[in-house]
Structures are given as structure tokens and as C-alpha cells.
Amino acid sequence: MGSNHLLGILAYSLRDRAENEFLSVRQDFSPEAGIILIMEVVHAKHPKSECLSTGYPAPKMPKTTGLKALIHNFHSPYYYVYLYILLSTISGAAKIAAGRLRGKDDSMQFSMNAQDLLDGLNTVTRALSARPAKQILEGVLMDVNEDGIVLTCSDGSLSIQSIIRSDVKEVGRAVLPGRLFTELARKLPGGEVNIKVGDNHAATIRCMSSRSNLSGMNPMEYPEMAEVSEGTMIRIPQNKLKEMISRVVFAIATDESRQILTGCLLEVTAEEARLVALDGFRLAMQTAKMPFELPEGVETLKAVIPGRVLNELSKILTDEEADCILTFDKNRMQASFGNTVLSSVLLAGEYIDYRKILPPAFKTQAKADRVSVQNAIDRASLMAREGKNNLIRLSFTENGLAITSNAELGDVLEEMEAQLDGDPIEIAFNAKYITDVIRNISDDQMCMKFNSNVSPCVVTPENGEGYLYLILPVRVFQ
């Protein structure tokens, strides 16, 4: 066994003893003090009797220089002891250095309107996961600077950031428990709220006669929010994007066995944008006709956005016509609007070619009043849920439309006027699937197209191409 190996074993045996000795000299031993010690002792060119900044005793340094001194260091047990201290403290010291480079520490203080704080927390906490991978991801990061406060929440793949104006008295960063902090903000009496965070990460929240203390976490452990600085950028009005998302998310698959279907396909050309979702039983598509600017040489932008991301995005978009800026690179998307930024990873893989699913032509087309059909199906669904298969039958004839449902407890028959173009047809659907489609249509007339009672039914507007829904029927035997 070589001398270096023996000295290494000796260094590990001295590890605990060395740390105890350093702690006995100075109780407030910290990563910061440790890194100063390394800089002053291990890399010292001349021996010192004391480490001036830390108060730790310095090791004896060789009087020789050059190669002989280098060999002496590598054969000295002190080398291994101080190397261990370096490795064990470098991470914490780096985080401290990073914070100081930003000109910030853990303490901070600011005041702002309580409702503005609650609105910001309600927005960003939508990114919190029910089962976070790390404890730090349970929190909301508050980054306070001269311009205001930046709130950030993340689950590791989805991040939401909101900027709020505030009266800043002391800049800094803090991480507080996201859901608890939001509930506390919700119960505040109103008016101005003052928040002060000390060096121990604990926050004091004061609002009128209310005072709460809330333990926090180390903000240096919070991951940085990934930004999409370069990529393809498109602009779409917030109210239009919100409407498109809300009318297709019901068809996104929830079964993780086909992960690509748990997302929604966004297709953008120079003339239109499409959102497409399907789960194997139904398909939903919304189209926005407007000009888009794409990079030179790009005819179609395609991205598969996770369903949860679109769901949360639709809830924080406003009903205003102001643009939402969507930026895409190969792996991520970023949505920027107002004082909010949402960033998420995209789903990898090729989405199903939905155009091959759509029938090219139809033998039968029927029209009926949409509100009358919706109310009749709602009533028939009450009985259908009591049955074994939750089925509703639609029978289109020259005399009109008949909607029926049956169960052991009874049956329902609804009759109404309808226009039929083509052969009469009787077809059955799962009550939930057809109900979801009708609830996302706002036209006065409902237009349904068929080929047979076992082929897909397609629902489109009477005029135009604003939406398309496809529903698979249920085969029934007489």
C-alpha cells in the first residue's frame, strides 16, 4: 500500500476531529468562512500564524518552493483535511457568492396592496404540483428589487412568473410555502400588507391589526426559471386563445400510456392557427383565421403542448384583445402577456395525423336548433346514467329528430324539428361524449354529418371552419 493511500486513510480518520477543532475555535463556522479559510491557507504563498478573517489556526507551510513544496503538500495529511473542507463547503459558498453578486441577501422588506398580492399568488401557484419532487418546489419564490416583486412557482417542468408593483424598502429574495401563504393572503383584512423577511428566512406578515409569522426556505436552493430567449414567436389575442383552449381541452387524453395524446397539437401557418386534441373516442379542433409571421423557410409551426399547461394557461389569460406572445424552441414554449410569463416543456414525439381520421365526404347531413338539442340531451342523460351503458340514441328522419334513452327505471323520448339532407339514420353515442361537444358550441344551429351508424359523426358550423368535432358512435344491436 502506497504512502499516499495511507495518508488518505489517515485524512479521513482526522476529518471529524479536524472539524471539531475548528468549531471549538469558532462556533459560527460557515461555508463562507470555510472558503475564506481555503483561499487564505491552502493557496497561501507565505505561512501565517493566524487566518485573519476566520480566526482559525493555520497549518505549517513548507519553507521550500516550487516542485518540492508541491510534493510536500500532496504528502501532507493537512492537504487531505483542507481538501475535504473545500469539497464540503464549496456548494454553499457558491450560492452565497451568487446572491452577493446580485447585491442581495436573504433579508428583505416591502409593502403592497393585499388584493394585488393575492391576485399574483393565485396566478403563480397554479404551477405548484400536488406531489413536488423537491421540498423547495412547494414554495413561492419572491424576488424583490427596486421595481417591484417577482413571484415565481414551478413544478420542475411548468413555471409561472408574475410581476407586481410594491413599495420596496429592502431588496432580497425569499421562499415561503406557496399554498399556505396564498391562504393567509386570502384571509387578510384588506388594505396594505407589509412583509418583512429576516436572515433566518422567516417572514412577518402584517396587515392592519393582523400579524402572522411564516417559516421560509433558503432561496438559493430554488431553481432558476428556464427562459425561451430564441425561437419562433407568434402573437395571438388573449381572448381568442383562451376561447380556443377552453373548447378543446375536454378531448385531451388522460391516459398516460399514450403520452403524446395527453397534449394538444398547435399548428400555425401564415393564414391560420389550429388547436387539435383527441383521446381515441372524440376529436376537437378550433381554428383561428388571421395572419401570422413565421421565420423564413418555415411553412408550418407544430408543437405539442401538455394538456395541464394549456388548462392552466386558459385560466390566467384575460378576456382582453391584447396579444399573448408565444415563443417556441425545440423543447420549450413560453407565453408572455401582461405582467405574467408562463414557461413549460413541450411533449416529445409526433402527434397523430388527425387529417387521416376525418371522413372526406358524407352521405347524410342534419341540422337542428342547438339549444333544443342540448336541453333534450341533458334530460335524456339523466335516464342514460341509470342504465348500464350510458347511451343516448338519435334518430333522424324526414319527420324530425327523436332522442331516446332507456334504463331499468324508465325511459325518455324527446322529439323536435330537424332538417335532413340524405338518408335517414339512427345512431347511438355515449351521453358524456356528445354532451361535451354540444356544450362547446355557441352557434344557433347544430350541423351533424354522418356516413353510417358505425362511422364517426362530425359536427361543424353551418358556415365557415371555426371548429370541428368528431365523435365515435357506439355499435348497438336491435
* Equal CATH topology for 108-221 and 359-471: yes
Closest CA to 280 of 475, 433, 462, 447: 433
Closest CA to 3 of 98, 106, 75, 77: 75
Residue ranges of domains in the chain: 3-101, 108-221, 232-354, 359-471
Share of the chain above pLDDT 90, in %: 66
Does 3.30.70.1350 match the CATH number of domain 232-354? no
Q: Is the pLDDT of residue 89 over 80?
A: no
Confidence at 104, pLDDT banded by 50, 70, 90: very low
Give the length of the chain. Answer: 478
In angstroms, what CA-CA distances link 368 with 179, 273, 449, 458?
A: 47, 29, 12, 14
Residues 365-413: pLDDT tens digits? 999 999 999 999 999 999 998 878 889 999 999 989 999 999 888 999 9
Q: Spelled out in words, what is the top-level CATH class assigned to the domain 359-471?
A: alpha beta
Residues 296-313: pLDDT tens digits? 888 999 999 999 999 999
pTM comes to: 0.76
Q: Quote the crossing angle between the two packed helices 114-124 and 178-187, to the nearest 10°.
A: 150
Classified as helix, coil or strand, 102 is coil
d(CA 332, CA 344): 6
CATH superfamily label, 108-221:
DNA Polymerase III, subunit A, domain 2 (3.10.150.10)
d(CA 297, CA 345): 24
172's CB contacts (< 8 A; 6+ apart) are: 104, 105, 106, 107, 108, 109, 144, 197
Confidence at 255, pLDDT banded by 50, 70, 90: confident
